[in-house]
């Protein structure tokens, strides 16, 4: 797979505060890459570094195989982005906004081409309506149309469903899937709405307090034939050492208060018996079925937690 974004040892400090701490990840061509984390996790700071809006303290960023710092203009010509709420001219029509941003990009596009762009985001029937009369969801879709006006290979969307009602969220979700499946776009989308990322993304990264705590294929992390089990015992370290020498040794992680173990669902009863037979005082064995539960349990403590990958 061809890497589109390659980030290595990325760090951003604001005086004594570390917003992004030694983050590494790769986005491949054709990915819908979910960038997950709570508010303040470092997602937006990372995205702003990807778009050269702020300088990294240290680390390297390459887009399309080229160093971002050395090839900024060339690289950004292939990138479209919407950072939180799009900046639009509310007293102009949707068509006029799109035309204006096209000209700012050095493009002269015909009305038919612009209408095709509006049709792509579901706004063709409102092309002559002023943006001040648009709902927030419609503004978000118009912002995405603006980001697509120069036909970029990579689209970066920072919290595109913030403040939207359920219908608006569904519209953005369907648009992202359409851009991926029908237009072949590579998309990085940040969000704290975990259920949405579970639906649209094929790969994802979870950040917590500036650090990457997991990265991988969504289908692998949420393999329906397997489950992630949370284990709490009287002696976590002893239990971890015991399981590390068992048949489940490849997919086990430990935090200060719990063990996360990825196993086949059919093996859960065997796990229970195994622990009892080895005289482990078990407080809890709990399957985690959803991405949300997985995320919440990972972010309780990030000590020694790394990615679950196959």
Say yes or no: do domains 3-218 and 223-289 share a fold. no
CATH number of 3-218: 3.40.50.300
Domain boundaries, the chain: 3-218, 223-289
pTM of the model: 0.76
- Helical H runs in the chain? 43-50, 72-76, 94-104, 111-120, 136-147, 166-181, 194-200, 218-221, 236-244, 268-277, 291-298
Give residue-wise pLDDT tens across range 263-289.
877 788 888 888 888 888 888 888 765
pLDDT score of 301: 44
Give residue-wise pLDDT tens across range 59-85.
999 999 999 999 999 999 999 999 877
pLDDT score of 295: 63
pLDDT at 302 over 90: no
CA–CA separation, 67 and 59 (whole Å): 11
- Greater confidence (76 vs 213) lies with 76
pLDDT score of 225: 65
123-161 burial code (b ≥16 CB/10 A, e <16): beebbeeebeebeebbbbbbbbbbbbbbebebbbbbbbb
pLDDT at 292 over 60: no
Give residue-wise pLDDT tens across range 115-154.
999 999 999 999 999 999 999 889 999 999 999 999 999 9
CATH number (3.30.420.40, 3.30.70.980, 1.10.760.10, 3.90.1640.30) of 223-289 reads 3.30.70.980
pLDDT at 33 over 50: yes
Supply φ then ψ for residue 221, to 5 degrees: -65, -35
Residue 81: burial class (beta carbons within 10 Å; 0-12, 13-18, 19+): buried
The two three-digit tokens of residue 139, written as one number: 């503004």
Give residue-wise pLDDT tens across range 154-181.
999 998 888 888 888 888 888 999 999 9
The pLDDT-based confidence of 297 (bands split at 50, 70, 90) is low
CA–CA separation, 221 and 295 (whole Å): 11
pLDDT score of 21: 94
Supply φ then ψ for residue 263, to 5 degrees: -140, 165
- Greater confidence (306 vs 39) lies with 39
Is residue 240 classed as helix, strand or coil in its secondary structure?
helix
């Amino acid at each position: 797979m061809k890497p589109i974004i390659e980030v290595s040892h990325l760090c951003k400090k604001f005086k004594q505060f570390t917003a992004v701490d030694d983050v590494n990840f790769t986005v491949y061509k054709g990915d819908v890459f979910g960038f997950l984390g709570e508010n303040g996790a470092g997602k937006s700071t990372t995205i702003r570094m990807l778009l050269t809006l702020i300088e990294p303290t240290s680390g390297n960023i390459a887009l399309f195989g080229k160093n971002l710092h050395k090839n900024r203009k060339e690289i950004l010509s292939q990138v479209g982005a919407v950072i939180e709420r799009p900046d639009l001219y509310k007293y102009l029509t949707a068509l006029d906004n799109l035309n204006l941003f096209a000209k700012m990009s050095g493009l002269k596009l015909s009305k038919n081409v612009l209408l095709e762009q509006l049709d792509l985001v579901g706004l063709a029937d409102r092309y002559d309506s002023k943006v001040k009369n648009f709902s927030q969801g419609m503004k978000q879709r118009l912002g995405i149309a603006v980001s697509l006006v120069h036909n970029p290979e990579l689209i970066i969307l920072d919290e595109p469903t913030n403040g939207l009602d359920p219908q608006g969220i569904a519209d953005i979700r369907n648009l992202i899937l359409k851009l991926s499946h029908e237009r072949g776009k590579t998309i990085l989308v940040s969000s704290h709405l975990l259920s949405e990322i579970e639906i649209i993304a094929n790969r994802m990264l979870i950040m917590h307090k500036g650090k990457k705590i997991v990265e991988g294929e969504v289908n692998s992390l949420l393999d329906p034939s397997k489950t992630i089990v949370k284990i709490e015992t009287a002696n976590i370290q002893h239990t971890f050492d015991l399981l590390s020498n068992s048949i489940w040794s490849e997919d086990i992680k430990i935090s200060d208060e719990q063990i996360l173990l990825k196993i086949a669902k059919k093996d859960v009863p065997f796990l229970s018996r195994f622990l009892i037979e080895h005289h482990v005082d078990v407080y809890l064995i709990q399957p985690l079925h959803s991405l949300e539960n997985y995320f919440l349990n990972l972010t309780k403590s990030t000590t020694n937690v790394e990615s679950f990958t196959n």
